[in-house]
A and B are shown apart, each in its own frame.
Chain A
């Protein structure tokens, strides 16, 4: 910063200014985001981008009204001007029946850094490009593959947070992720297989070692072969079946039908005009039989490597683990400091902002379905006729998070308690949230459990795209509707 003043010193000055203005509460965040993205298509580099983004966001609560202002013009003068604007906006809000308040939180002075073995930004560009080229070229070699692609993404997010409670928190979050896809096409249309998951692959708060472990080159051939086989595969006859949902698809099921409805700001109507509301009204807390007794769901920002893991949320609340569903009963919400205060509770650390120019709102951290005690073979052996569904292709759920429909890339047939080796294309399953989770009668154990990263969860206006995680292992559901009349 010009004049030898550090960003931290300016932010401290902002907090002092806002204290003098006798605000109810204020916080200020400086963030710097580095992002590197590489994509390969058919063995050729498609794009290699490098992004740098930084700025300051200031949030003020005054007489119950909220104001937020952000800027990327980082002179001391402009940051102070931004603080004044945030204060003015808060005053405007307070005159419109502003009733905002924040739940109590102790001050923290701390630092947090993602633990990783290999800094992805220290890995040579050549190595990244070569890895993708080799994996994609291997898929493209398979007869019947019309398009093969792969991508990698790395992010380094540096945050400095101060608030009027007295917190000063510095964090560095590192994210690595990627995936590969193979497309086959013929007269019947086209089919796609993705590894390890669709829509960009899997992501974690880890380093380059996460990419190495996924072994894209080793999995390329199998991924492409399956895409080709799908092309001539039949579709499932619509009906009710017992199904097993694989981990990566179950992650999205958890995301849409457990994570979003448990966001307390949705319950209070903050998102009604955009993302919608929630059926999980406070009268259901501690009472609703959300799922069967084996269903245990936690919000856990402390799980190592989870894409939704951090040291502190963007309101200065320490990362924590809390139950959303315990032994099938709905027992807790995802909360930020404002929504928690409305229920007379403390935040459980889910106030997150996608960047410096956005306010923290209630977001998922890692919403995890805890592992059960069965093996995958146990789950399969309990099905007379049904399917194992894997890898998301499409998703949709209603505005209150009740009626959902998912499509997956592939279904594996199960007959007489065994996988038959037959595969089916274009599977679609649908249902309603509570009925569905109550039909769960088996969850695979920790050996099959993994935290899947979803880097593109959208919420809020202006839109905020957040990275969240979902721990899951394959699970079995009885009498689920599969296939949709066209």
Chain B
């Protein structure tokens, strides 16, 4: 951790080395450790420290972007030369570019000592505990601790600094031919909720042994938070995306502003939601606060990355994820808000349905109709007459997102954090009618 002063000093150096050019820069340093285990043994155990400086320079309505992790004077001078050469050899943009407005704010630090001081041994001890909890089964997964420092700076006076800690884990528990899954994230390693979750995964693994073959078709499903987060994440990226909307390659052109789901369906991007690991500004320095994407069942807002907003005369939203491509928005702190139902409520009245623990390899089949495909894994069960009865073999679904949300008939009160590659997603259980399974696998 280099601290805010280091980045203020870096801004002074950039002002000197890039004098005569306007610039917007992101400096991001990550110091992380990740312990991975397989068959109840630690098989990969890594540590990384790396800084990335990305700088966008602009002149005469042209832009060029460079990235380096070498902050020496020589390296920055070489980078400037490369970027000037790009500017010299390229034409003007097709829209009027300007740097984001300068903004000052207090530095935001949320660093847990448990993460700042985390050692490989600390992660290994959690692994030891997971093995104990899952006694009699095999466990596979990871535990990660990470410290991220980010500073957004510009030649016109932007200088925002944040430092956040995070920890996350996932575990697949395997018991004969059954499996279960758990994941979670927290800013504080001490609050990482692995124990109860792994216990549940062990239970799922044991219950999912000897799965039976059933025919694909339309079923009522109860989706776990893991499964819900996977689908909604894809929706947010592909459908609530201002760039795809403006280029008319998204079903948002049909559905934006419309009621698409039940009143208690609320999808937000909110860094301050309990359980989130907050990113308080985006890569253009825009302040991030609660941002509704679906509100009371209405498809309310699209995310506009900075370049898309300039290009299409829209207001940018705080979702610019990279300076390399100013058309890419991302909801860093996605939350699917809890509803009112208990898990029992979701199960009751299901005559014949499926309980889905997790999806695998979800992908977009038809962008214009937001049709997604993917497989079930790590615990798929038949629900009969309101009760979870038997494990079933994995199946492939093909589902239109808007059909799916139209068919939501329950959202649970219970909700939890799900670990993803970036920040966690907070999600509840959701019950959906007529979920379309189209083929099956052999396990």
A-side residues, CB < 8 A to B, are 37, 39, 41-55, 65-73, 85-86, 88-90, 92-93, 95-100, 124-126, 129, 133, 146-147, 183, 185, 189-190, 268-270, 272-274, 276, 279, 357-359, 361, 393-400, 402-403, 405, 407, 426, 428, 430, 432, 461-463, 481, 484-486
Q: Return A451 CB to nearest CB of chain B, in Å.
A: 24
Q: B35: which A residues are within 8 A, CB to CB? A: 93
Check if B156 is an interface residue, CB within 8 A of chain A: no
Residue pair B120, A126 in contact (C-beta under 8 Å) = no
Q: A90: which B residues are within 8 A, CB to CB? A: 45
Q: B425: which A residues are within 8 A, CB to CB? A: none
Residue pair B64, A398 in contact (C-beta under 8 Å) = no
Check if B345 is an interface residue, CB within 8 A of chain A: no
Q: Return A473 CB to nearest CB of chain B, in Å.
A: 26
Complex Cα distance, B83 from A93, in Å, reads 44
Q: Which 10 A-B pairs have the closest CB atoms?
A: A44-B94, A189-B368, A125-B89, A403-B441, A51-B67, A398-B375, A126-B89, A272-B140, A49-B65, A273-B141
In the complex, chain B residues 235-277 whose Cβ is within 8 Å of any chain A Cβ: 247-249
CB nearest neighbor in A for B52: A53
6 contacts between A and B (CB under 8 A): A68-B45, A89-B46, A99-B41, A402-B443, A432-B441, A486-B436
Knowing A55-B69, A400-B443, A428-B365, say if A47 contacts B325 (CB, 8 Å): yes
Q: Return B227 CB to nearest CB of chain A, in Å.
A: 14
Q: Return A72 CB to nearest CB of chain B, in Å.
A: 5
Chain B window 357-392, contacts with chain A (Cβ cutoff 8 Å), 1 for yes, 0 for no: 000111111111101011101000000000000000
Check if B101 is an interface residue, CB within 8 A of chain A: no
Residue pair B45, A92 in contact (C-beta under 8 Å) = yes
Residue pair A48, B86 in contact (C-beta under 8 Å) = yes
CB nearest neighbor in A for B83: A50
CB nearest neighbor in B for A128: B89
Complex Cα distance, B369 from A67, in Å, reads 46
Check if B342 is an interface residue, CB within 8 A of chain A: no
CB nearest neighbor in A for B182: A273
Knowing A97-B40, A269-B140, A396-B362, say if A65 contacts B45 (CB, 8 Å): yes
Residue pair B68, A51 in contact (C-beta under 8 Å) = yes
Q: Which of B36, B38, B248, B369 is packed against the most chain A CB atoms within 10 Å? A: B36
Q: A400: which B residues are within 8 A, CB to CB? A: 441-443
B-side residues, CB < 8 A to A, are 32-52, 62-70, 75, 78-79, 82-83, 85-86, 88-91, 93-94, 120-121, 124, 127-128, 138, 140-142, 144, 170-172, 174, 181, 247-249, 324-327, 360-369, 371, 373-375, 377, 394, 396, 398, 400, 421, 436, 438-443
Complex Cα distance, B421 from A68, in Å, reads 20
Known: A396-B363, A402-B442; 5 extra A-B contacts, CB below 8 A, are A45-B62, A54-B69, A359-B46, A403-B439, A462-B34
Q: B69: which A residues are within 8 A, CB to CB? A: 52-55, 72
Residue pair B85, A485 in contact (C-beta under 8 Å) = no
Residue pair B46, A95 in contact (C-beta under 8 Å) = no
CB nearest neighbor in A for B37: A96
CB nearest neighbor in A for B217: A485
Residue pair A125, B394 in contact (C-beta under 8 Å) = no
Q: Return B336 CB to nearest CB of chain A, in Å.
A: 22
Knowing A70-B49, A85-B47, A400-B441, say if A54 contacts B247 (CB, 8 Å): no
Q: B34: which A residues are within 8 A, CB to CB? A: 461-462
Q: Return A162 CB to nearest CB of chain B, in Å.
A: 19
CB nearest neighbor in B for A78: B49
Residue pair B70, A54 in contact (C-beta under 8 Å) = yes
Q: A357: which B residues are within 8 A, CB to CB? A: 48, 50
Q: A93: which B residues are within 8 A, CB to CB? A: 35, 42-43, 45, 120, 124
Complex Cα distance, B247 from A41, in Å, reads 11
Q: Return A75 CB to nearest CB of chain B, in Å.
A: 11
Complex Cα distance, B40 from A147, in Å, reads 51
Residue pair A403, B421 in contact (C-beta under 8 Å) = no
CB nearest neighbor in A for B87: A48
